[in-house]
Amino acid sequence: MLRAGMWAYGRGEMLDASMAALMFTAFAGSAAPLAQGTSPPVPPYAVTAIAGVLTAAGWMGWKQIGSKEMGFAWTLRTAPWTLAALALALPGAALWAWTAGGDRGGAPDGLRIWLALIGFQLLWVALPEELLFRGALQGMLRRGDSAQDPFPIPLSVICSGILFALVHVMAEQSVGGLRVFAPGILFGVLRERTGSLLAPILVHAVSNAALAVFLGRAG
């Protein structure tokens, strides 16, 4: 019964979400070499960010995903959930760096450099990825959720987390990309609990910045 229910879950939405994830990967992958041939060359991270925003915008229009489904809102739950998630995510980033190893280096000195690092992650990584995966894709997948689902985490969160991990596997051409599944679930839960994309965007950016620092200091 449970297996049949999972198979029936939002098959149309899941197919559409998978198609969007594949289009994003193909778009970013094919545009990156072309961008490198421009003068001046466009950095790969900029190509990926633009691909994410355009894919999210295209799916919003095509599937008529409203601003509430996308998570374009601010709620009073955003701040406490963001702080609680950071308390979980930052040790997780440190553990990730410890298991992955890294170059010997030092943490960036000064608040200005820290803010620049977080700002880079916010603009070029967290914002476009969250717009696509927790905004457009999870927003669309939420249409298949039911209050009677026997899972503590909505299936829309799990499915968007799976797509998030698979896209990283394809981008990195390594199964190591599966490591982002757990963070993807965390970002998805934040989106559900706060009703806003702001919390996952902030936690994503700060966690990535911290991971970059921890990787620099590990080894």
pLDDT (tens digit per residue) in 31-66: 878 777 777 788 888 999 999 999 999 989 988 988
Structural domain boundaries in the chain: 2-217
The pTM (predicted TM-score) of the whole model is: 0.88
Residue 49 and residue 28: Cα distance in Å, rounded? Answer: 8
Length of the chain: 219
Spatial neighbors of 121 by CB under 8 A, at least 6 apart, are 204, 205, 206, 208, 209, 212
Quote the pLDDT of residue 107. Answer: 56
